[in-house]
Chains A and B, each alone.
Chain A
Amino acid sequence: MPTDFQTTPHAAPVMEFKSSSFSVPVLVLSGNDLAVIDQQLQKKIQLAPEFFKHSPIVFDVQDLNKQNLDIDIAELTGILYKVGLLPIGIRGGNEQQNNKALELLIPIYSQHHSIALGNFSKDHTKPEKLKQKVPLTEAEPNRESTTMLITQPVRSGQRIYSTGDLIILAQVSAGAEILAEGNIHVYNTLRGRVLAGVLGNTEARIFCSDLQAELISIAGNYKISEDLNESIRNKPVQVYLQEHTLIIKDIV
């Protein structure tokens, strides 16, 4: 029988830290009356009980703090649990609220839009807020500069992700996956899965010179190969979103 000491050093690693992003509903509070919150929450949940059942939720108290309205974090989470939600974070809380949340084992999410109270002086928050405002408007041109260019074929099993636009000059094989937060251009045969505007940019478009894709998606609205009309197959096309519908058109 092997001992643990002997096997451990040779054992394959059983874990790995990975970064993943999730889409989680955020409950943005604008009033601090717990009874009203309770009532309105129940009403909302009745509309789609299955959707909200055991749904993780982050609550955002930034507006409350802006209006100088305090809220009891323990009672608020109590209400959330009661209606079947699972609070997994607080955003925009002040120091005291954050401490309370930590006591309840609820993580604190980045408060980059929040007004920091407590220990932070007013002087400190002002420039920070200003700084934030300026880059926000500049964010768009910044994005475009992150365009990714691929000149080698994207083979089956490979995955390419661009935080901006994605331009591919070689073919994209079946079984490959190309994703971009912006637009995607493929100046060759496109056979794999192609997803543009993956963070919800509905203005994103897909362009390719020979459409044979397995799946095309813009901002989560997708079509699979089977649903593609024969008239646009093997053709140079562009794909864009019009009122939640994917429009596929010849580029002429």
Chain B
Amino acid sequence: MARIIVVTSGKGGVGKTTTSAAIAMGLAKKGHKTAVIDFDVGLRNLDLIMGCERRVVYDFVNVINGEASLNQALIRDKHCDLLYILPASQTRDKDALSQEGVGKILEDLSKDFQYIVCDSPAGIEKGAHLAMYFADDAFVVTNPEVSSVRDSDRMLGLLSSKSRRAEQNEEPIKEYLLLSRYSPDRVKLGEMLSVDDVQEILSLHLLGVIPESKSVLNASNSGTPVILDEKSDAGQAYADIVARYLGEEKPHRFIEEKKGLFGKLFGGK
């Protein structure tokens, strides 16, 4: 059985798709057969970030409607043989997704894959709901500012009440915090919430901090997940996150503040 991970946030523009691409690539690079699904029907982006936009033939909605098989729609990544992408449909909207349809696809994928990463759209409506409904683990991507934190909190409430695990009284979804676009300098100046500030509000298990980095934009533009840029701080941050998720002990980096020796010892420039 595959482990289903939803990458979600509530708010838009915080780095869900970047994170989905990086995490999926990271898991595949570690030798786990991974599929990443774009749930943002109508605003298809994941294929751009993954650099496979020219190879999209069939999409998620085609598979739900039975117009194509899963194997026809899955795109194998050009960097890693163990990574497959299921793109969203650009011409449809979120109503094209149905709970039964999504459930069926995830069930079929589960037989063949070890990890399924669901890239959630922003908001708390149907697309976001279906992306998280079947999840086992949730990566909540949050920017260090109040509205993003508030929206994440709302999403956490939905994860604990409106998901399959919640409805069937199973063990709740495991929730992890990913703090993205973090800039220690601006935290010092008081322009940004610190890790501690965010943790005080959300009290979640911190999986990692991703620093604000030019490499993210470069990676997106070139269609290579940023985790492949091993020299970049953001790439290293995602590599750490994947390792921690898989159970490795890694000290936190890129936080660099008063009590953190780690920042000094390991922090990039």
Chain A residues with Cβ below 8 Å from B160 are: 152, 155
Question: Which among A53-61, A72-80, A172-180 touches the partner chain?
Answer: A172-180
The SS class assigned to the A binding surface is loop
The answer to whether B203 touches A156 (Cβ under 8 A) is no
Chain B residues with Cβ below 8 Å from A157 are: 153-154, 157-158
**CB contact list, B145-202 vs A, under 8 A:** 150-151, 153-154, 156-158, 160-161, 172, 200-201
Q: Which residue of A lies closest to B204 (CB)?
A: A153
The answer to whether A175 touches B154 (Cβ under 8 A) is yes
Measured in the bound complex, the distance between the Cα atoms of B149 and A175 in whole Å is 12
Task: Indicate which residue in B150, B151, B154, B203 contacts A153 across the interface (CB closer than 8 Å).
Answer: B203
The answer to whether B201 touches A158 (Cβ under 8 A) is no
Q: Which residue of A lies closest to B201 (CB)?
A: A173
Chain B residues with Cβ below 8 Å from A156 are: 150-151, 153-154, 157
CB distance from B18 to the nearest CB of A (A): 24
Measured in the bound complex, the distance between the Cα atoms of B157 and A129 in whole Å is 46
Task: Indicate which residue in B153, B156, B158, B172 contacts A174 across the interface (CB closer than 8 Å).
Answer: B153
- Answer whether residue A98 sits at the interface, using C-beta atoms and an 8 A cutoff: no
Q: What size tier do the contact residues of chain B reach?
A: 10 to 19
CB distance from B161 to the nearest CB of A (A): 7
Given A171-B203, A173-B201 in contact, is the A158-B157 Cβ separation under 8 Å? Answer: yes
Measured in the bound complex, the distance between the Cα atoms of B156 and A171 in whole Å is 13
Most buried by B among A155, A171, A174: A155
Measured in the bound complex, the distance between the Cα atoms of B160 and A108 in whole Å is 41
Chain A residues with Cβ below 8 Å from B154 are: 155-157, 175
Measured in the bound complex, the distance between the Cα atoms of B203 and A191 in whole Å is 13
**CB contact list, A143-198 vs B, under 8 A:** 152-158, 171, 173-176, 189, 191
Chain B residues with Cβ below 8 Å from A158 are: 157, 161
**CB contact list, A34-79 vs B, under 8 A:** none
CB distance from B125 to the nearest CB of A (A): 12
Chain B residues with Cβ below 8 Å from A175 are: 150, 153-154
Task: Indicate which residue in A155, A189, A191 contacts B157 across the interface (CB closer than 8 Å).
Answer: A155
Q: Which residue of A lies closest to B124 (CB)?
A: A157
Most buried by B among A157, A158, A176: A157
The answer to whether A174 touches B157 (Cβ under 8 A) is no
Measured in the bound complex, the distance between the Cα atoms of B211 and A120 in whole Å is 78
Chain A residues with Cβ below 8 Å from B153 are: 155-157, 173-175
Chain B residues with Cβ below 8 Å from A189 are: 200
Measured in the bound complex, the distance between the Cα atoms of B200 and A155 in whole Å is 13
Measured in the bound complex, the distance between the Cα atoms of B121 and A249 in whole Å is 45
**CB contact list, B128-152 vs A, under 8 A:** 150-151
Measured in the bound complex, the distance between the Cα atoms of B154 and A153 in whole Å is 11
Measured in the bound complex, the distance between the Cα atoms of B158 and A191 in whole Å is 18
Q: List 20 A-B contacts (CB under 8 A).
A: A152-B160, A152-B172, A153-B156, A153-B203, A155-B153, A155-B154, A155-B157, A155-B158, A156-B151, A156-B154, A156-B157, A157-B157, A157-B158, A158-B157, A171-B203, A173-B153, A173-B157, A174-B150, A175-B150, A176-B157
Residues of A that sit less than 8 Å from B by CB: 152-158, 171, 173-176, 189, 191
